[in-house]
Homo-oligomer: A and B are copies of this chain.
Amino acid sequence: MSFIAGIDQASRQRNSLLCVGLDPDPARFPAQLAERSDAIFEFCRAIVDATADLVCSFKPQIAYFAAQRAEDQLEALIAHIHERHPGLPVILDAKRSDIGSTAEMYAREAFERYRADAVTVNPYLGRDSVKPFLAYRDKGVILLCRTSNPGGSDLQFLEVDKADGTGGKEHLYERVARLVSGEWNRHGQCALVVGATFPEEIRRVRQLVGDMPLLVPGIGAQGGDIEATVKAGRNSTGMGLIINSSRAILYAGTQVDDGINFAAAARQVALQTRDEINRYRVG
């Protein structure tokens, strides 16, 4: 099954648009994991197993593993998700970008080495930098469009001339949305990253891309509003959103009672977040 179909199916089966982002920071782990050589795997595995019935996907952030020399634990984690929670797509958050011959290597890293179902990609290098990822037809390619950080506006919010020759203007992120939903999405593999901190821009992207899935980071620790996000971003069927929360879920219980119940605390916040999202999917 393709990533796009898989995410839709997982969302329906679990009645959830929530994605849990796996950004493991050993400095914030509970004490009982501190001595383990596989602490990163073990922390994430516990979170995964405690929340798998509440989410439409998991999104490991590769930088957190790479900074700790823990690529092997990332491989083991994704293998664990595929094995224990079949049908739940894994999005490798890597924001890769390079020219074609190198992008082939990044695609191999994401899809063959790590066996991710989708990968995030930076669009700045244009169409041929994305093609090697699209060559894996069952995989998802999630392009950065409007990111949730303050500096995102430096380039993404610049006004460019529209391509239609009318003399009208659009923002760079709108051009990215058009490019991706047009020719880059010929085989229906694409999605877009649009930050929850900008609901008006989520609404604009939704207008431009039809029912295409949007990966929305920025709720939770980054302060994005769930109601505004869901109302702006839901598609015609109340779906089409992959709403990511990382730190607010991962570390919900790590500072309480020495973090002994961190996985249960994470589950509690995931449940609340899923339910809050569902409250605004229709109506």
Contacts and interface: CB of A to CB of B under 8 A. Distances in A.
Contact of A97 (B71, B101, B122, B176): B122
A142 B260 CA distance: 43
A148 interface: yes
Contact of A151 (B113, B125, B152, B158): B125
Nearest to A23: B102
A179 interface: yes
A124 B176 CA distance: 11
A105 B153 CA distance: 22
Interface in A131-181: 144, 147-156, 158-161, 172, 175-176, 179
Contacts of A125: 122, 144, 147, 149, 151-152
A189 interface: no
Interface in A92-116: 95-103, 105-106, 108-109, 112-113
Given A66-B109, A95-B96, A102-B23, A129 B155 contact: no
A128 B102 contact: no
A67 interface: yes
A11 interface: no
**Interface size class, chain A:** 35 or more
Contacts of A155: 123-124, 126, 172, 175-176
B172 A151 contact: no
Contacts of A154: 123, 126-127, 179
A69 interface: yes
A79 interface: no
A106 B66 contact: yes
Given A63-B109, A95-B98, A158 B129 contact: no
Nearest to A130: B151
Interface of A: 23, 61, 63-64, 66-67, 69, 71, 95-103, 105-106, 108-109, 112-113, 122-130, 144, 147-156, 158-161, 172, 175-176, 179
